[in-house]
Amino acid sequence: MDIKETGDRIIREFELLQDWQERYKYIIKLGTKLDPLPEEDRIDDNLVKGCQSQVWLTARMEEGKVTFKADSDAAITKGLVSLMIRFYSGREPDVILNTKPEFIEEIGMSSHLSPTRANGLASMIKQMKIYAMAFKSSETLS
């Protein structure tokens, strides 16, 4: 499934939910499905700067695609990072760098997040793009 299809699927999933209380519950549920982050990756170097909650994010390049893993100490934040992993993980660096997560606006999430959560989400996206840029640069140098 390409990144556009993934975004469209996320939009459809959120459209099935009646209100934002149900959507928050769904976001929290998504977070519970994240694979556990190994303890050795729960280090300060992997903390996303700009998040009020602790969010650890790692990235690896595998067969030309970036694979992200993450965890958080807050349920909603963990759900948000799981959405972003679903959207960006397994993509080529150029796709990550050139694709905005428009589904965030389309489902109305940006207007339903507190300012601190919205800043945290923006920081997660920024960090994912930084990783993609680093991998792209290292590919160019190889």
CATH number of domain containing 108: 3.90.1010.10
For the residues 90-99, what does the mean pLDDT come to?
Answer: 98
Check pLDDT > 80 for residue 139.
no
Check pLDDT > 80 for residue 81.
yes
**Cα 121 to Cα 87: distance, rounded to the nearest angstrom:** 13
Contact of 117 with 103, CB cutoff 8 Å: no
Residue 77 identity: T
The distance of Cα 122 from the centroid of its chain, to the nearest Å, equals 9
Tally of structural domains, the chain:
1
Angle at 43 between CA 39 and CA 49, to 5 degrees: 135
For the residues 92-120, what does the mean pLDDT come to?
Answer: 94
Check pLDDT > 80 for residue 142.
no
CB proximity list for 16: less than 8 A, separation 6 or greater: none
Is 51 labeled as catalytic in the residue annotation? yes
Indicate which residue of 30, 51, 76, 109 is catalytic. 51
Question: Around Cβ 39, how many Cβ atoms within 10 Å?
Answer: 7
At 140 the pLDDT is 67
Tell me the pLDDT band of 88, cut-offs 50, 70 and 90: very high
**Cα 130 to Cα 125: distance, rounded to the nearest angstrom:** 9
Indicate the average pLDDT of the chain. 94
Range of the domain at 76: 3-141
**Cα 58 to Cα 26: distance, rounded to the nearest angstrom:** 24
At 138 the pLDDT is 84
At 36 the pLDDT is 87
Q: Please state the pTM of the whole predicted model.
A: 0.94
Name the range with the highest mean pLDDT among 52-56, 114-118, 129-133: 129-133
